[in-house]
């Protein structure tokens, strides 16, 4: 399981997207997640791109990446937020 803490949350990730359309698709997904969760887009982007890098490696069908990555990122962010409040 991917854990998010300390250095991961302080490191700016700049993912290299395969093309401009993919970049825009992932950017919209990150923006939507940020609005849904009520946290800054930059925080969402960090988590999202960590998950994207991991899932991208074995992806045979890239069309599903935004959905799979956003679900996993949402889950990890919620866990992190819950642990902060407890």
Nearest to 47 by CA among 12, 84, 16: 12
Quote helix, strand, coil % in the chain, to nearest 5. 75, 0, 25
Predicted structure pTM score: 0.79
Nearest to 50 by CA among 24, 30, 78: 30
Residues of the chain with pLDDT under 50: 1-13
Residue whose tokens read 């290299």: 16
Tokens of 27: 């950017």
SS3 12: coil
Domain ranges, ordered by start, for the chain: 18-85
């Amino acid at each position: 399981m991917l854990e998010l803490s300390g250095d991961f949350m302080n490191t700016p990730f700049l993912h290299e997207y395969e093309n401009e359309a993919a970049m825009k698709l992932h950017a919209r997904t990150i923006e939507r997640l940020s609005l849904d969760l009520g946290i800054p887009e930059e925080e969402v982007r960090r988590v999202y791109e960590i998950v994207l890098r991991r899932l991208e490696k074995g992806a045979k069908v890239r069309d599903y990446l935004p959905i799979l990555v956003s679900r996993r990122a949402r889950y990890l962010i919620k866990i992190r937020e819950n642990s902060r409040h407890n």
